[in-house]
A and B are shown apart, each in its own frame.
Chain A
Amino acid sequence: SQQGEEDPQALSIQEGENATMNCSYKTSINNLQWYRQNSGRGLVHLILIRSNEREKHSGRLRVTLDTSKKSSSLLITASRAADTASYFCATDYNAGNMLTFGGGTRLMVKP
């Protein structure tokens, strides 16, 4: 399976701190996406970074992509309790038709 791997598996921080999650993958990709899943809910798309991009921002989110190392990171700045969720990276090998998800990082932000 060409699955991405997230690191760490779990992360606990205080409100206001930054949270960084990493994702590694195995083969060349078209793009990499990050999704959030709140407990008992479906996944929600956060941000997409294409293989020819190195960094992308969306609000408090910052994503980097290093294709030479086959890795990506998601940074959430000034975290809030509402950011508590699981975060998944998904690698796109086939123009968006088949996403391969990693195991996720469970983030807990303590108020």
Chain B
Amino acid sequence: DAGVIQSPRHEVTEMGQEVTLRCKPISGHDYLFWYRQTMMRGLELLIYFNNNVPIDDSGMPEDRFSAKMPNASFSTLKIQPSEPRDSAVYFCASRRTSYNEQFFGPGTRLTVL
């Protein structure tokens, strides 16, 4: 298995632009998580899905952030409009119901100028 796949690996954009981050979870995993990591706030859970349904989005910073999971093998995290304070590394992780361990992707480093 290729593990959790994220794209792009790096994204540089200007303030006000729309940013879309993509994630492909490990096949057979029914939970998907989006995290954000910054030096100031550490690793924060933004939202998680179970069987493609959003379960808890209380970590989403504000309405500029949205996440979708149209099928079991694909999820997106969208920021519109982006702001410099959104600069961070965004991780996607997945897990199978029967195991507590989460598998993380390599992350997308987002820089908003």
Closest chain B residue to A103 by CB distance?
B42
Give CA–CA (A93, B50) in the complex, Å.
Answer: 17
Q: Is B100 a contact of A48 with CB atoms below 8 Å? A: yes
Tell me if A45 counts as interface (CB < 8 A to partner B): yes
Tell me if A24 counts as interface (CB < 8 A to partner B): no
Across the interface, A42 reaches (CB within 8 A) one of B42, B55, B101, B106, namely B106
Give CA–CA (A104, B103) in the complex, Å.
Answer: 18
Across the interface, A92 reaches (CB within 8 A) one of B100, B103, B104, namely B100
Q: How many residues of A contact B (CB 8 A)?
A: 22
Contact of A98 with B45 at beta-carbon distance under 8 Å, contacts A33-B100, A45-B102 already known: yes
Tell me if A31 counts as interface (CB < 8 A to partner B): yes
Tell me if A44 counts as interface (CB < 8 A to partner B): yes
Q: Is A96 a contact of B100 with CB atoms below 8 Å? A: yes
Q: Is B91 a contact of A43 with CB atoms below 8 Å? A: yes
| Interface residues on chain B, size class | 20 to 34
Tell me if B4 counts as interface (CB < 8 A to partner A): yes
Q: Is B101 a contact of A97 with CB atoms below 8 Å? A: no
Interface string of B66-85 (1 = CB under 8 A from A): 00000000000000000000
Across the interface, B42 reaches (CB within 8 A) one of A31, A41, A104, namely A104
Residues of A within 8 A of B45 (CB): 98-100
Tell me if A101 counts as interface (CB < 8 A to partner B): yes
Q: Is B104 a contact of A44 with CB atoms below 8 Å? A: yes
Tell me if B22 counts as interface (CB < 8 A to partner A): no
Give CA–CA (A96, B8) in the complex, Å.
Answer: 27
Extra contacts besides A88-B43, A97-B48, A104-B42 (9): CB < 8 Å = A31-B100, A45-B101, A45-B103, A48-B101, A92-B100, A96-B95, A97-B56, A99-B45, A101-B43
